[in-house]
Amino acid sequence: MDVMTAVLTRRSEHILHAPAPDDAEFTYLLKGASLAPDHGRLRPWRWILLRGDERAGLGLGIAAETGADAAETERLRTTYQRAPLSAALVFVPRDPHPVPEWEQLAAASCVAHSLMLLLHARDYGSIWRTGRLATSSGVGEFLGLRGPERLLGMLDIGTPDATAGRRRRVPDDVSESITHFEELRKSEGDG
């Protein structure tokens, strides 16, 4: 699959089944994704892979933090077991460092998107999950986050449901988001 086809056809997959990449294949794909833009090659990120019952702890961490009753605790426990593999992207800022934190955060985001495209090119599906996962101190504690680390999100990974309809999105008209510098100079002169 060429890169443009991957970009145009990748979708967030809400229903994911086994198989998912094993550790060796995930590592191989991450090696490619790690070539995403990263000023200083800092790799200000790390991934935590969760499979099987390990993922239940994500929901239990949120339940404990929110004081959920038994029914809500069970719902949260199962909510985060929707895919055969959950990959937590942890932002690890390199500080002090001359590369500003915002640029390091952009590098971590780029590696996640590159990984999603590589997964799609291998016929895996994925969906980026944030919300309470990314802000929960209980989830952070469960994952063993240290110091300034923070969870950016969770990438659920598996094989897309074969019965789900695939609608190709039409790219938006982005021409209004492009300005030619020459036009800026002209508009400044008019004022």
Under a CB-based contact definition with an 8 Å cutoff, are residues 151 and 140 in contact?
yes
Of the candidates 55, 76, 46, 52, the residue with the CA atom closest to the CA atom of residue 142: 55
Considering just the CA atoms, what is the radius of gyration of the chain in Å? 20
Domain range annotation of the chain = 13-190
Cβ-in-10-Å burial (0-12, 13-18, 19+) of 87 comes to buried
Contact of 156 with 86, CB cutoff 8 Å: yes
> What is the rounded CA–CA span in Å between residue 94 and residue 16?
34
Q: Give me the tens of pLDDT residue by residue for the chain, a chain 191 residues long.
A: 899 999 999 999 999 999 999 999 999 999 999 999 999 999 999 999 999 999 998 988 899 888 999 999 999 888 888 999 999 999 999 988 899 999 999 999 999 999 999 999 999 999 999 998 899 998 999 999 999 999 999 999 999 998 887 777 789 999 999 999 988 888 877 65
pTM of the full structure: 0.90
Q: What is the Cα–Cα distance from 140 to 151, expressed in whole angstroms? A: 7
Decide if 170 contacts 27 (C-beta within 8 A). Answer: no
Q: Which two tokens stand for residue 18?
A: 């086994």
Best CATH choice for the domain 13-190 from the list 3.40.640.10, 3.40.50.2300, 1.10.3720.10, 3.40.109.10: 3.40.109.10
Q: What is the pLDDT of residues 138-159, one digit of tens each?
A: 899 999 999 999 999 999 999 9
| Contact by Cβ (8 Å): 140, 152 | no
Q: Which two tokens stand for residue 159?
A: 């094989």
23-49 pLDDT tens trace: 999 999 999 999 999 999 999 999 999
